[in-house]
């Protein structure tokens, strides 16, 4: 399935879990289950915004965006992080009110059953989405998947806490569980915001990808051929590498261009989604670059 198909499925599952978790909260009156339902609302909003950003990111380059629209995916993870942060504050507010005025819980059996059903749906979808995200290197899909996994563990924590309430009769455990849930999703929000900011600031490729690039270049290096000033960056699903290739000044342009094409093809074959840009220079010429670029 395509990334957009997974996100459409995420929207559908979010709607289903909202119904199930809201029903669980309505039956029991548990503020812990209310916090779980609020996070599902965030899942819905996040999935819808991610779908919009992935659609924009897939658009081809144009006159106003000559490098494409790939970075649109980072707005998705950032937006979802903000939503999670807002949901966490709402959960804490509701939990504090319930902690000050404890109330008995009702119909816990049915409430827990509905919550577990919603958790199973989220877990299955999150596992499938994360596999696809790693395959196509989509940060929007990965962000949505990781948020769903957070929702799964949140739900498991809520259910375990409510079972403890059922066993002990300590109703004050319910709001404490809700506060713990809120603190956990605050951590997830910070992670998503940090990853979004890294992407917008042209973060370098992962160490494994950089290692593969160096392995390819090593295969072409010769006493008359060398590479330097390698710079990498990531924009959504698209990966970029820029570097200089030095060769004998006496080579014809055709021979130099043919070697460059071979290097570019080898790089793109070694790292899926990579766009390589190689500048040709004579062996005795050094380029003057801005400070901050690290040579190979």
Beta strands 226-235 and 238-247, pairing class: antiparallel
DSSP 8-state assignment for residue 242: E
At 154-203, the pLDDT tens digits run 777 777 777 777 777 777 777 787 787 778 778 777 877 777 777 677 77
pLDDT confidence of residue 27: 80
**Measured at the alpha carbon of residue 181, what is the angle toward residues 177 and 186, in degrees to the nearest 5?**
150
Greater confidence, 82 or 237? 82
3 state SS of 177:
helix
pLDDT confidence of residue 15: 85
Read off the pLDDT band of 139 (50, 70, 90). Answer: low
Tokens of 215: 């392995």
CA distance 24 to 72: 36
pLDDT confidence of residue 106: 67
What's the sign of the alpha-carbon dihedral 188, 194, 198, 200?
A: positive
Read off the pLDDT band of 291 (50, 70, 90). Answer: low
At 246-275, the pLDDT tens digits run 999 889 999 999 999 999 999 999 998 888
Which numeric CATH code is attached to 3-200?
1.20.1510.10
Class of domain 207-282: alpha beta
103 touches 146 (CB < 8 A):
no
DSSP 8-state assignment for residue 281: E
Say which residues have a Cβ less than 8 Å from residue 202's Cβ, sequence separation at least 6: 233, 234, 235
What average pLDDT score do residues 216-220 get?
93
At 54-112, the pLDDT tens digits run 788 778 877 887 777 777 777 777 777 787 787 778 777 777 777 777 666 666 677 77
Average pLDDT over the chain, rounded to an integer: 79
The residue ranges of every structural domain in the chain are 3-200, 207-282
């Amino acid at each position: 399935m395509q990334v957009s198909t997974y996100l459409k499925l995420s929207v559908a599952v979010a709607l289903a879990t909202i119904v199930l978790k809201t029903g669980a909260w309505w039956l029991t009156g548990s503020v812990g289950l209310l916090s779980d339902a609020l996070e599902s609302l965030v899942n819905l909003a996040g999935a819808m915004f991610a779908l919009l950003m992935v659609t924009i990111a897939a658009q081809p380059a144009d006159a106003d965006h000559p490098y494409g629209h790939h970075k649109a995916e980072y707005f998705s993870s950032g937006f979802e992080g903000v939503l999670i942060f807002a949901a966490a504050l709402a959960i804490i507010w509701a939990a504090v009110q319930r902690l000050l005025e404890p109330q008995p819980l009702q119909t816990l059996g049915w409430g827990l059953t509905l919550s577990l059903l919603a958790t199973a749906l989220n877990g299955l979808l999150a596992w499938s989405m994360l596999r696809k995200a790693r395959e196509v290197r989509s940060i929007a899909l990965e962000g949505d998947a990781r948020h769903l996994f957070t929702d799964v563990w949140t739900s498991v924590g809520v259910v375990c806490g409510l079972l403890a309430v059922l066993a002990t009769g300590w109703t004050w455990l319910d709001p404490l569980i809700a506060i713990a849930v809120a603190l956990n999703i605050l951590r997830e929000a910070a992670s998503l915001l940090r990853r979004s900011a890294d992407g917008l600031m042209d973060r370098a490729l992962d160490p494994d990808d950089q290692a593969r690039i160096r392995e390819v270049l090593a295969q072409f290096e010769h006493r008359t051929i060398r590479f330097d000033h390698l710079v990498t960056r990531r924009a959504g699903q698209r990966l970029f590498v820029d570097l200089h290739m030095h060769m004998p000044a006496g080579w014809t342009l055709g021979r130099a261009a043919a070697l460059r094409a071979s290097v570019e093809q080898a790089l793109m074959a070694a790292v899926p989604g990579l766009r390589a840009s190689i500048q040709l220079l004579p062996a005795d010429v050094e380029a003057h670059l801005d400070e901050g670029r690290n040579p190979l």
